[in-house]
Amino acid sequence: MNPEIKLYPLIADLWKMDGGVAFGVVPKSMWNRTQMADENNMIPIVTRCLLVQTPGRLVLIDTGMGNKRDAKYYQVRYREDFPTIERSLNQAGFSVDDITDILFTHLHDDHVGAAVMKDEQGKLSELFPNAHYHVSSAQWDWAINPNKREGASYFKDNLLPLKESGKLHFIDQEGEWLPGICIRIFNGHTMGQIIPLVNYLDKTIVFAGDFIPTAYNIPLPFVPSVDIQPLLTMDEKSAFLEEAAQKAYILLFEHDYFNECSSVQKTEKGFMMDKSFTFSSIV
Ligand SMILES: [Zn+2]
C-alpha cells in the first residue's frame, strides 16, 4: 500500500546558536569555513517543523519555541518575533484547529514549547486544541525528572499541560507508526529521540530532528556539544548514514538555515552532504 501523503516543511522559528555548541569538539577553523559565525560567534539556525497530511490525519512534527519565556530567554537566542508555527500553518492553508496529532521528536524547549501557549494573564492553553500528543516514554521520563545537564532545556509548563489534556500517548516501538510513517529511536542527543521516516513519492524522507540537525552535522565528528552521549551519537550516525547513503534517503533538516534537504554520500573521508536541495524540488 502506498498511502497518499503530502508534506509541508514549516518554519516555526528563526534564531541563532553558538557555533561551538553546534559542532562540539570540531575546531572553529574547520566549521567556520562553511558556517560563517557573526561577531558573537553565533550561526543562523531555523526550527523547521514538518506537517504530514495523510488521508485521515494531519500530523505536525515538533512545534518550535512558542512564547512562554521572558524576553531575555529569546534575546540570548536571537529569536526573531516572526515567523511562528501558527503563521506558517496558516500560510500553508491550515489552522491550528486542523491538527489531529503532534509527534514530538523530543521535549527540549525549542521542539515542544509552542504546543502550550501563555496569554497576557499568564494562563496556559493548548495551541492545537484538537491534537493528540505523541512522544517516547523514555523521553517523557527523562524530561519529567531532568538531569543537571539538560535541566535548562526542559520546562514543566511545557509538559504538565500535555499530560493533563488526557491526550498524551507514548511510542515505545520502532517500526510503522502510521501508514507511510516509520519511527526510529536514537539516544545519543537525549534519551528516546524519535526520528520519523516518511514514504513520499516512493522516496524516504528522514526528518532528522536533533539527530543530524544540519547538513554540516553529517560528518561523524560534527556532534553538537549538547548531546548527552556523543560517542553513541557517532555510532548511531555511522550505522544510519551507511543505510541513508545506500538507500538514497533524503534528509530534511530541522535546524539548517541554508539547506532544507540533502542526500548523503560516503567518500574516502567519511560521510558528507551529497546534494543540497529544496523540498519543493523533490518530484
Ligand atoms: Zn534537542
pLDDT at 83: 87
Q: Is residue 142 part of a domain?
A: yes
CA distance 139 to 153: 13
Q: Is residue 263 part of a domain?
A: yes
Residue 159 Cα to ligand 1 midpoint, Å, equals: 15
CA distance 30 to 5: 39
| Sheet with 58-61, side-by-side order of all strands | 6-18, 42-53, 58-61, 101-103, 132-136, 168-171
Give the dihedral sign, CA 219/222/227/233: positive
Query: Which ranges of 3-136 does DSSP label H, i.e. alpha helix?
Result: 19-23, 28-31, 71-75, 85-91, 109-112
Residue 168 Cα to ligand 1 midpoint, Å, equals: 20
- Domain extent for 80: 6-281
Chain centroid to Cα 78, Å, comes to: 18
Residue 213 Cα to ligand 1 midpoint, Å, equals: 9
Residue 3 Cα to ligand 1 midpoint, Å, equals: 30
Residue 268 Cα to ligand 1 midpoint, Å, equals: 30
Residue 37 Cα to ligand 1 midpoint, Å, equals: 21
What's the pTM value of the predicted model, to 2 decimals?
A: 0.96
Residue 174 Cα to ligand 1 midpoint, Å, equals: 20
The contacts found for 18-21 with CB under 8 angstroms, 24 or more apart, are 18/42, 18/43, 19/43, 20/225, 21/224, 21/225, 21/226
Q: Is residue 83 part of a domain?
A: yes
Residue 106 Cα to ligand 1 midpoint, Å, equals: 7
Task: Go through the chain and tell me how many residues it has.
Answer: 283
Q: Is residue 187 part of a domain?
A: yes
CA distance 256 to 90: 22
CA distance 23 to 100: 35
Chain centroid to Cα 146, Å, comes to: 19
Q: Is residue 1 part of a domain?
A: no
Q: Which of 68, 50, 46 is nearest to 59 (CA)?
A: 50
Q: Which of 206, 202, 281, 198 is nearest to 236 (CA)?
A: 206
Per-residue pLDDT of the chain (283 residues; tens, 9 = 90+): 455 899 999 999 999 999 999 999 999 999 998 888 999 999 999 999 999 999 999 999 999 999 999 999 999 999 998 889 999 999 999 999 999 999 999 999 999 999 999 999 999 999 999 999 999 999 999 999 999 889 889 999 999 999 999 999 999 999 999 999 999 999 999 999 999 999 999 999 999 999 999 999 999 999 999 999 999 999 999 999 999 999 999 999 999 999 999 999 999 999 999 999 999 999 8
Domain count along the chain: 1
Helix (H, G, I), strand (E, B) or coil at 208: coil
Query: Which ranges of the chain does DSSP label H, i.e. alpha helix?
Result: 19-23, 28-31, 71-75, 85-91, 109-112, 137-144, 156-164, 230-246
Residue 189 Cα to ligand 1 midpoint, Å, equals: 7
Residue 153 Cα to ligand 1 midpoint, Å, equals: 8
Helix (H, G, I), strand (E, B) or coil at 9: strand
pLDDT at 2: 52
Q: What share of the chain is helix, strand, coil (3-state, %, to 5)?
A: 25, 30, 40
273 burial type by CB count under 10 A (0-12 exposed, 13-18 middle, 19+ buried):
buried
Residue pair 16/42 in contact (Cβ under 8 Å)? The answer is: yes
pLDDT at 152: 87
Q: Which of 133, 136, 132, 67 is nearest to 106 (CA)?
A: 136
Q: Is residue 201 part of a domain?
A: yes
Residue 115 Cα to ligand 1 midpoint, Å, equals: 16
CA distance 217 to 263: 13
Q: Left (φ > 0), alpha (ψ -120 to 50) or beta: where does 220 sit?
A: alpha
Q: Any idea what the CATH number is for the domain that residue 26 is in?
A: 3.60.15.10
Per-residue cell: 182: 516509520
Residue 91 Cα to ligand 1 midpoint, Å, equals: 26
Residue 108 Cα to ligand 1 midpoint, Å, equals: 5
Q: Is residue 230 part of a domain?
A: yes
